[in-house]
Amino acid sequence: MTQLATREAANDRQDEVQRRGRGLGWMSLGLGVAQLAAPETVRRLSGVDDSATSRAVVPLVGARELVHAAGLLTSRRKSAWAWTRVVGDAMDLTALGMALAHRGGRRRRRLLAVTGAVAGITVLDLLTAVQATRAKGAGARGTRQGGPMELTATTTIRKPASEVYAFWRDLENLPTFMAHLEQVRTTGDRTSHWVADAPFGKNVQWDAEIVDEVPGEKIAWRSTGHADVPNAGTVRFVPAPDAVSTEVHVVLTYEIPGGAVGKAVAKYFGEEPHQQLDDDLRRLKQVLETGEVVRSDGAPWGKRARKEFPQRPAQPLSDAELAKGEDA
């Protein structure tokens, strides 16, 4: 599971970059609003003279900061917008350096203070830009080479947490609602053997162990040894506000191999894998609340050879279809 741990660390770094980028966005927003709303105050506090040039430049810099703010607060491409801030900082430092050469006394001291503050912001902007670029590169490499795929989903089941937990804790129940699983066989109190569908009519297998468990609240497991598809999962059972139902929160992580096989596996899991997990939890809800997965006329047989829940316009089943349903 080393690769999964590496992926988690990379996600933490990306989250840090995103948070820092948003912080810089709010900073740009504040600076932009101040320079546009009170340019005279900004010029006076910063020690800039009241020339025609400064009266034109300060609002322009404010408008630039608002553009940076919009990009950093609304776009996930933090690296590009952070670099634009670095360029803007370089322009500001150049202008401040030129102004310092022609200032003395109190105005010079103010300009020195402003220059120091801009230099500090420049360092922060540069650090964020470099880290965002590295995070973007790591994400691109992960896409080309395969890498982990994390799925999350939540549902609310009208059953107490103890009952939902007990059903999931019997791992052999998982294939009744998880479409890609063929079999889960318990091999010990905390160990099990899993078999899942795979492309080209094959299957993948792995052993797993429960690594963290709080009865009635949480189960966490991970594959062990040389799994065909290394994976890990955590499910939490949280009492719902109505004091009757249970919120089920699931996180699954699969280590998808690179190359053509990886592409096939990723495609097999679906273009919208999160939707697939949502469907799994919907079936879990049906099993626990009604005792069975409710089949529509569009999917009378359930899962069969990966032809999961085939859809078609509503129509009566033929005799052959009824016979197939009885044999399934």
Query: Which residue is it, tokens 């099990």?
Result: 192
Structure tokens at 143: 């896409």
Interval 47-93: pLDDT, tens: 666 677 777 877 888 888 888 788 777 765 667 777 888 888 888 78
Would you state the pLDDT for residue 33?
87
pLDDT (0 to 100) of residue 317: 61
Residue 5, pLDDT score: 53
pLDDT tens figures, 222-247? 999 888 778 899 999 999 999 899 99
Name the residue among 179, 196, 156 with its Cα closest to residue 276.
179
pLDDT value for 9: 55
Instruction: State the pTM of this model.
Output: 0.47
Q: Is there a contact between 223 and 1 (Cβ–Cβ < 8 Å)?
A: yes
Residues 194 and 174: their CA atoms lie apart, in Å, by 10
| HSE of 37, CA atoms in CB hemisphere, 13 A | 7
**Positions of the chain with pLDDT lower than 50, given as ranges:** 1-3, 139-145, 259, 271, 296-314
Residue 220, phi then psi, degrees to nearest 5: -130, 135
Amino acid 132: pLDDT:
74
Question: Can you give the pLDDT at residue 273?
Answer: 62
The pLDDT of residue 259 is: 47
> Which domains are assigned to the chain?
2-143 (no CATH), 147-294 (3.30.530.20)
What pLDDT is recorded for position 57? 78
Cα–Cα distance, 318 to 324 (Å, whole number): 10
